[in-house]
Structure 1
Amino acid sequence: MVTFTLDPALIVQLLISTVLPLAVGLVTKTITRPGTKAVLLALLSLATSMLTAFADALASGTVYDIGLGLLLALPTFLVAVGMHYGIWKPIGASTRAQQLFDKNTITVREAR
């Protein structure tokens, strides 16, 4: 017998991992070193994976499995890096996210 199920927590995790590079771009500046951004992305991947596994355990009434949360951090990070280099960077969304709150790129016009 074969079944096909999609765990809602895993779908949420996949959706979060697609926008994590943009979130990193929003909280960093254009002058931030790439290594710092990679570490921040890895930490956000770990945090979202742990929280998603915790929320799934609460919703299903099961025991929280820390190993599952840790294991989900790797594919979350890989999907986020793939989204950054495969989609967000080529279309300029990553750069635009970084420039959004950068003082050097925002033009403020005063009312006369």
Structure 2
Amino acid sequence: METTLPVYGFTADLGGLLSLAITIVLPILVGLVTRQSTSGAVKAVLLLALAAVKTVLEAWLQATNTGVAFEAVPVIYTTAINFGIAVAIHLGLFRPTGVADAAQSVVVTDKPSERPAA
């Protein structure tokens, strides 16, 4: 028996919805720990790393609770899906509404001389 990670399909189960909610919050977490002057490439790598950590933790938890083997291929595939969803949410919702900028001005802020030109 192989590991089955939450799949975002047409059935709404609590595990899948919770996983999707966490994926949606990942871009905000990246915004909270980076500065506005941080390059987009660094932010993208950080987002990918958070998506990977989230997916590995989900797979490990499921493998532990069900006794099935932990498998890398579903984890890699699900990480790519989570990363794609997080990027789409960031570009399609958080950036246009100003949530991304608001998150970046909360915890880690640039000095006035480091702020990018508007």
TM-score, with structure 2 as normaliser = 0.76
Within the candidate set 12, 24, 34, 2:30 is matched to 24
- The number of aligned residues is 102
Partner of 2:68: 62
Partner of 2:47: 41
Answer with 1 or 2: which has the greater Rg.
Answer: 1
Q: Which has the higher contact order (CA 8 A, sep 6+)?
A: 2
Q: CA RMSD in A?
A: 2.0
Measure how far apart 1:9 and its partner are: 4.0
Partner of 1:96: 102
Give the letter aligned to residue 42 of structure 2: T
Task: Show CA shifts across 1:54-99 (max 9, x none).
Answer: 1111222222222221110011000000110111111111110001
In structure 2, the gaps of 5 or more residues are 1-9, 113-118
Give the letter aligned to residue 18 of structure 1: I
Change (3 A) 1:64 1:47: same
Q: Distance in 2 between matches of 1:90 and 1:60?
A: 41
Identity of aligned residues (%): 32
Q: Distance in 1 between matches of 2:12 and 2:73?
A: 20
Q: Distance in 2 between matches of 1:76 and 1:34?
A: 18
In structure 1, the gaps of 5 or more residues are 106-112
Q: Distance in 2 between matches of 1:10 and 1:60?
A: 16
Describe the SS at the equivalent of 2:37: coil
